[in-house]
Chain A
């Protein structure tokens, strides 16, 4: 596995676009804990007196693809990005950004990479358009500020300083800033945080557009819906390591692909005992709330027929009846045994 992963850049000479956007092998990042942290979490301190934020994480993000790091807060997503962006130095392991070491990256390498940090990192006293103009002055042949501002609806709040913008407005300015240098690799840390549905659609549209241009996009999210809508490749990160990796389809297929769910709502109360007696032990009946129920397990046409028969006997007409696929949320729950939020 390890050997297969460590693709050798020399085999790809002459075709630099075949190089991965980001390649991370066995990344470890340890921190010195603050005294306060050490007192509260003594179990997290290792024998060297440090805390591992990232513990042997490997991933590859390709050009022209959206690679999603999915995980709960504190899973290590942002630290992984920081190592890939050259903002933090790995304790061990290797990180390659467009085939180069990002730690101490040259201005030329940084010009090929666009970064949107989780907290934006924008100067508080500036107004959006002058700020974007300033960022654009760091590049030769940057995007046109007015065009990208128009696209992201930034003109409408240009009179306001960054300090007074809403979370979603700041996100849009930060995305514009990340795109300013026409990057080949785009890092987006929680890009949809704080966005209203409309600006979220614009942001997603831009992400897809960049992907079609061949940009390698690596984004973090704790929103499963984001991953399902955008990802070519998903890395589920927990406790500083990759616990599952694959395309959305692969992850949803999983090991027990028959695990499906049938939810239904009735007009009146169901006699649950009689239904469970009829269905047997292959499926579980869950009483969700009031007249909402769900069946989970080995769902088959036979199970659905039995449900229909029982409802006929109890003379209950369903208000709704829905067979649902597994979601990334289910996958996440199975892996971590807890909710992503």
Chain B
């Protein structure tokens, strides 16, 4: 053999960081993704601040509209990024053979998935900062305890919705993924216990929404922001969703379309 310079795989953390950075920038530079991840949640925040949708609930608790809106909008951010954002990106990457190609590099399938999770978490941090900043400008007063309590909640929510997004993106066509996650986003935002608390819903419907990952995420964040209380049951519900969807995704995910 000639004296060829050989190369080897970059270290595991290097590969994941590189992929995480790449996926994060891809999400933050894409116009549609920005609309979904940043603009729509901010519209919701401003909308709920200046309309009366949450008034009866706010009066009941003796809090401002923004106090109820902020945790709901944070929940919506998680759904935007983890379910819609990564779902759509992964669906189209799969269609164009990108997942297949990247899985043949030293990154591999595991590295690719971990890079995506890292990107979801990074974008959620960015969204959190932007939402808090705008909320403060609108008159919201943040407290440290709810913010600290919300960290494990956002992790559970991100896990559940990323797993659900991967399950959809890995099993149906890219266009169908786009349609499903966008529709799910709209339905869950309004009727999934995300922006509007579930005790507004009649009977059995409220109960169903409570066991949806969106309802659980919204309820947890409102518990933390409104009552400074960490609710175990909804966290458990989100983890069950994460494990169920994650195992189905691991079993049925197709790397090429």
Q: Which residues of A pack against B, CB within 8 Å?
A: 17, 63, 85-87, 105, 107-108, 110-111, 113, 115, 117, 119-126, 134-135, 137-143, 177, 181-182, 184, 212-214
Contact = CB atoms under 8 A, between A and B. Distances in A.
A214 B96 contact: no
Contact of B255 (A87, A139, A142, A182): A87
B60 interface: no
A117 B12 CA distance: 24
A214 B105 contact: no
Interface of A is mostly: loop
A123 B96 contact: yes
A87 B104 contact: yes
A138 B9 contact: yes
Contact of B105 (A108, A120, A138): A138
B247 to A, nearest CB: 19
Contacts of B96: 119, 121-124
Contact of B104 (A115, A137, A142): A115
Contact of A137 (B1, B10, B12, B93): B10
12 contacts: A63-B1, A85-B104, A107-B9, A107-B108, A108-B9, A121-B98, A121-B99, A123-B93, A124-B96, A126-B26, A138-B15, A214-B4
Size class of the contact patch on chain B: 35 or more
B236 interface: no
Given A111-B7, A121-B101, A140-B8, 16 more contacts: A87-B104, A108-B8, A110-B9, A110-B108, A115-B104, A117-B101, A120-B101, A121-B96, A121-B99, A121-B100, A124-B98, A137-B10, A139-B9, A143-B7, A182-B5, A184-B6
Nearest to B26: A125
Contacts of A184: 6
Nearest to A141: B7
Q: Which of A111, A120, A177 has the most CB of B within 10 A?
A: A111
Contacts of A139: 7-10, 106
Nearest to A105: B108
A134 B104 contact: no
A182 B6 contact: yes
B113 to A, nearest CB: 14
B98 A122 contact: yes
A110 B106 contact: yes
A140 B255 CA distance: 26
A121 B96 CA distance: 6
A254 to B, nearest CB: 34
A107 B106 contact: yes
A122 B22 CA distance: 13
Interface string B215-257: 0000000000000000000000000000000000000000110
A110 B105 CA distance: 6
Q: Which of B9, B14, B92, B111 has the most CB of A within 10 A?
A: B9
Nearest to B107: A138
Given A120-B97, A121-B96, A111 B5 contact: no
A138 B93 contact: no
A143 B7 CA distance: 9
Given A123-B93, A125-B26, A134-B18, A141 B6 contact: yes
